[in-house]
Amino acid sequence: MDEARKRGMPEGKIRGILREYIQVLMLKSLYKSKWQDRFFFLGGTSLRLLYGSKRFSEDLDFNVRNLKMDEFKDAAGFIRKELGRGGISCNLRFNHKGSMFISEFIFRDIQELYGMVDKRGEIIIKLETNKPKYLLETESGLINGFGEVFLINAMSKGSMFADKIDTLRNKKRGRHIYDIIFMLSKKFPVDKKLLRINGIKEKPMEAISCIVNGISDDQLKTVSEDVRPFLFDETESKLIRNAKVVVKKLVGDEG
């Protein structure tokens, strides 16, 4: 808990803190494996761990290149083995959707191990990979938390933002709106080429405004409640409920 306090994490959300601790250990294991150069971190958890977003995120998402299913399974097995060395046991379950590989790490006894009581039971962390056909724009990232410091491979900020805009276009969820607002507030660049590849022809700020303004007020209210439990400060759900106004102010003259 001392480390969680240092990271500004809400002490009452023990399950989220424990999940994030495991995520850090999983990433450390992956990025010391022989497959480390194939995985490029992105998504909501990358925004949390690399850039300080104040939203708990459940899964680990990656773009990959030159990775076969058997290698993906071997990488997941290596992570499981490394966790076991540290006294954390889990089960593995694999799946795939087209070119997307998915492994589910199922932690059944982790809460008891850390003296935590939670009626929601086991913690499941998915490791998901996608293999885009376009050239990946990547950069190094630093994970620093829970006493661990290590480098990883990540998608570039511009790629992350472009990907998130496309994701919000297809899935009008509270967490994606929150992440868009976070990236706007941090002035992330946008990879315009990737936007075009994804079929978005408008300028980045125009695209964001158009997508957000197309969401009904009732839907914004609903999705703001969906993401509320994952926010460090639950009052920030107001940002999602009022996303049209918030985005307009953040976009400013850039649109």
Whether the pLDDT of residue 76 is over 60: the answer is yes
Q: What gap in Å lies between CA 165 and CA 237, rounded to an integer? A: 19
Containing H/E element for 17?
Answer: helix 14-30
Q: Which residue has the tokens 């509320």?
A: 228
pLDDT in tens, 93-140: 999 888 899 999 999 877 666 666 666 778 999 999 999 989 999 999
Q: What gap in Å lies between CA 57 and CA 38, rounded to an integer? A: 22
Model confidence, pTM: 0.93
Strands, sheet with 39-42, edge to edge from the N-terminal-most edge strand: 91-97, 100-107, 123-130, 60-64, 39-42, 148-155, 138-145
Q: Count how many residues are written for the chain.
A: 255
DSSP-derived secondary structure letter, 228: G
DSSP-derived secondary structure letter, 202: S
CATH class of 2-155: alpha beta
Report how far Cα 233 is from the mean position of its chain's Cα atoms. Answer: 18
Number of helices (H) and strands (E), helices first, in the chain? 12, 7
pLDDT in tens, 32-48: 999 999 999 999 999 99
Q: Strand (E) positions, 108-233?
A: 123-130, 138-145, 148-155
For residue 233, what pLDDT band results from cuts at 50, 70 and 90?
very high
Kindly give the pairing relationship between strand 60-64 and strand 123-130.
Answer: parallel
Output the pLDDT for position 253. 53
Whether the pLDDT of residue 250 is over 80: the answer is yes
Structure tokens at 209: 């405004």
Residue ranges per structural domain of the chain: 2-155, 159-254
pLDDT in tens, 2-29: 677 777 888 888 889 999 999 999 999 9
Q: What is the CA radius of gyration of the chain?
A: 18
Terminal-residue alpha carbon distance, the chain: 42
